[in-house]
Amino acid sequence: MTRLFSAAFALLLAVSVLGMDSTATAQDAATEGAIKYRKSVMKTVGGNMGAIVGIIKGSGDKADLTLHTGQMAKTSMIVGKLFPEGSDFGETTALPVIWEKPDDFAKAVKMMQDAAAGINTAAASGDMAVIGPALGKLGESCKNCHENFREKKERKK
Ligand code: HEC
C-alpha cells in the first residue's frame, strides 16, 4: 500500500516537474520555477537586511555584521539574473516594465550592488559613523527598485 502510494506520488511529481499534464506546459513549469527561485533569493536579501538592521540597533553580535553585509553584497551580484525573459506571468509582483526598460532596470540593480558593496566596506571598518549612512543608501536602493519595478498592492510589507 505504502509502496503503491509512493510510486503514484513519484509519478505525480515527475509529471508536475516535467510539466507533462494537460494544463501545465514545460514552459509554465520553467516560469514557475524561475519565480519561486527569485522570491527565495529576495527573501534571503530581506533576511540579511533584517539582520543588518538588528545588529546596528544593538541586537546580535557586532562581529557578525560583515557576515550579513558580505552575503548581501554577494547576493546583489545575482539579482539581475533573477528576472529571465518570460517570468512576468504567474504568482509574481514583478512588473512588465522590468523587461520593457531593461536599461533602467539594470541601473536599479547596479544601485543595489554599489550600495551593498558600500555597506560591506563600511561594516569592515566597524565605524558606525560610516555604517549608518551606508545602510541608508542600501535601503534607498531596495525602495527605488520596488517602487518602480514591483507591483504595490500585493506588497507584503
Ligand atoms: C533591481 C530591483 C530590486 C532591488 C534592488 C531589490 N528588490 Fe526586492 N524585489 C524586487 C522585485 C521585482 C520583487 C518581486 C518578486 C516577485 O514577486 O516575483 C522583490 C521582492 C522582494 C521581497 C519579497 C520576496 C517574496 O517572498 O515574494 C523581499 C523581502 C525583498 N524584495 C527585499 C528586498 C530588499 C531588502 C532589498 C534591498 C536590500 C531589495 N529587495 C532590493 C526587486 C528588487
63-74 pLDDT per residue, tens: 999 999 999 999
Give domain status of residue 60, yes or no.
Answer: yes
Q: Answer yes or no: is 7 within a domain.
A: no
Rg (CA), the chain: 20
In a domain, 4, yes or no: no
The response to whether residue 142 sits with its C-beta less than 6 Å from ligand 1 reads yes
* Residue 45 grid coordinates: 536579501
Q: Which three cell numbers stand for residue 85?
A: 525573459
In the predicted structure, residue 157 carries a pLDDT above the cut 50? no
> Does 156 map to a domain?
no
Burial of 123 (0-12, 13-18, 19+ CB in 10 A): buried
- Residue 141 near ligand 1, beta carbon < 6 Å: yes
Distance CA 65, CA 13 (A): 41
| pLDDT over threshold 80, residue 132 | yes
pLDDT band at 155 (very low <50, low <70, confident <90, very high): very low
Q: In this structure, what CATH number is given to the domain that contains residue 44?
A: 1.20.120.10
The CB of 146 under 6 Å from ligand 1? The reply is: yes
Q: Is 131 in the pocket of ligand 1 (CB under 6 A)?
A: no
Phi, psi at 142, each rounded to 5°: -65, -50
Is residue 10 domain-resident?
no
Strand, helix or coil for residue 43: helix
Domain count within the chain: 1
pLDDT at position 1 over 60: no
What is this structure's pTM?
Answer: 0.85
Q: Domain span at residue 57?
A: 25-149
CB 108 within 8 A of CB 143: no
Residue 67 placed within a domain: yes
